[in-house]
Amino acid sequence: MNDSKFLNALKLKPNSTPPIWFMRQAGRYLPEYQEIRKNYSNFLDMCKEPKTCAKLALQPIERFDLDASILFSDILTIPDALDLGLAFHEGEGPKFSNPISKPEDINTLISFDENKLSYVFNAVEETTKLLPTDLPLIGFCGSPWTLAAYSIEGGGSKDFKKTKNFMRDHPSALHDFLEILCDACYRYLRQQVLSGVNALQIFDSWADLLNAQELEIFSLQYTKKITQKLKSDPITKNVPIILFEKDPKQKITDLIFDDLSCISLHWKNDIEAISKSVKNNIAIQGNLNPMILSESDEIIYQEVQRICSIMFEYPGFIFNLGHGITPDINPQKVQTMIKAARE
């Protein structure tokens, strides 16, 4: 892995061109993914088949010139292991049949047992068997706040009203739940490293629900606890950690702390201003608006090269989208994006 452009960037080592991978790179926009997906009635059933997950993780690697692979899984595996009854309904996304609706539900939660997620760790092992030896594998988890939001809301939502009400009415109980999720995230990521991942990303997908003060109290303090545990653990202390905060209300520079190797920027963030502010002290990943991939090749080229020209002299730059790719994107547009970033 000494020649990995992706790992070099995370160490702030310069590359001739930026390493490239992108969020949700294995997924519904690929016809080869759809061929496998149609064999499963339920998305979660597919996620619990390690060999299938390995094949899915490899699909974008075989199709595109990428510098990292990411584990094929879902961020909601931890609440599922807490017996909240996760299921994926076609056209509706994830739903929990046993959500957290009152403080007493937290008191009666079963203890987190990472052995319930052995299918994830087996998927890591199967994926590393198939990957080129010089290509790193990224493991991940959802942030405690994001996992709590899904668990209380009972699934995705436009306004997360139940979660916001729970935060207002039962802050102490919410903190108890976040502590449980924090410990589970650490143990989950640790086991992913033991199984073979080379870097870790924490997705705070619902950071935008919180104002700046709430983000610090209910999200960032728990993310920091996870990274502190990882950096204090001999197994995981040298594994780089990337943090993705979706459109946070805080300044990005206020989200950076010592244990992070990289901050992954949402597409609304000003990558030029941020790169000047952090002054080469942390790797930066991002941040093309995924919707640009619906535009003409000319516009894709313009936007990709605008970002790459801004970050040309930044030693720890990783080209990525500023959010996950959407299912409607033509894979040929991805090819155009990658070609533009390589020039």
pLDDT digits (tens, 9 = 90+) for 144-170: 999 999 999 999 998 999 999 999 999
**Residue 343: predicted pLDDT:** 87
Q: Would the pLDDT of 1 be above 90? A: no
| Confidence tier at 340 by pLDDT (50, 70, 90) | very high
Q: What is the pTM of this model?
A: 0.97
pLDDT above 90 covers what percent of the chain?
A: 92
Burial of 285 (0-12, 13-18, 19+ CB in 10 A): buried
**Residue 277: predicted pLDDT:** 92
Q: Would the pLDDT of 254 be above 90? A: no
Residues belonging to the active site: 24, 28, 37, 74, 150
The CATH number of 5-342, from 1.10.10.10, 3.40.50.620, 3.40.50.1580, 3.20.20.210, is 3.20.20.210
Average pLDDT over residues 15-22: 95
| Confidence tier at 100 by pLDDT (50, 70, 90) | very high
Average pLDDT over residues 50-78: 98
Average pLDDT over residues 202-213: 96
